Amino acid sequence: MSSFINPQKIIADVVVGESNFVADFGFGTGAYLKLLSKEVGLLGEVYAFDIQIDVLNRVQREFEEEGITNVKFLHTDLEQEKSTKLADESVDFVLISSLFFQLEDKVTVTKEAYRILKPNGRVLFIEWRDAFYGLGPSKDLVFSETDALTLFKKNHMDLERRIESGNYHYALVFRKK
């Protein structure tokens, strides 16, 4: 097991698919956005959601400077119902990475992923395994793998598989029923 998460390996393992429509919930630094952009190609699209407007603007500028045109940046609070404003069953794949430890309303975010996913669509859920002495969230904010399995199951998504994600994170792929 490698020590830290490797976004390239994870996206390669999950196989997003060309021409697909993808939503990245809380993209933060944008570590996965370029990978997702390449995966979906020119006929696909990536919707990048974040609540931090300064981060959103910075990453959007970087993408514009690099000529990446298949990523749409959207400022939103994912803890609000129907916050993405995407149509029901309009995306093939949702990425939620290292976000839940920061949220109070995890149920609304999970329901939004379900709402926008096409039938049989998938969610890649990545979260911190534990608190690691200043790296990652504090112990009281860790959202466990068991909690993730329970929450997604309650929201009509089945565990498809686990993905190797290093010592500090767990990665789960769920499929919409």
At residue 71, the 3 state secondary structure works out as strand
| Domain map (residue ranges) of the chain | 7-176
* CATH class of segment(s) 7-176: alpha beta
Q: 123-173: per-residue pLDDT in tens?
A: 999 999 988 877 789 888 999 999 999 999 999 999 999 999 999 999 999
CB 149 within 8 A of CB 170: no
Q: How many CB atoms lie within 10 A of CB 131?
A: 15
20-47 pLDDT tens trace: 999 999 998 899 999 999 999 999 999 9
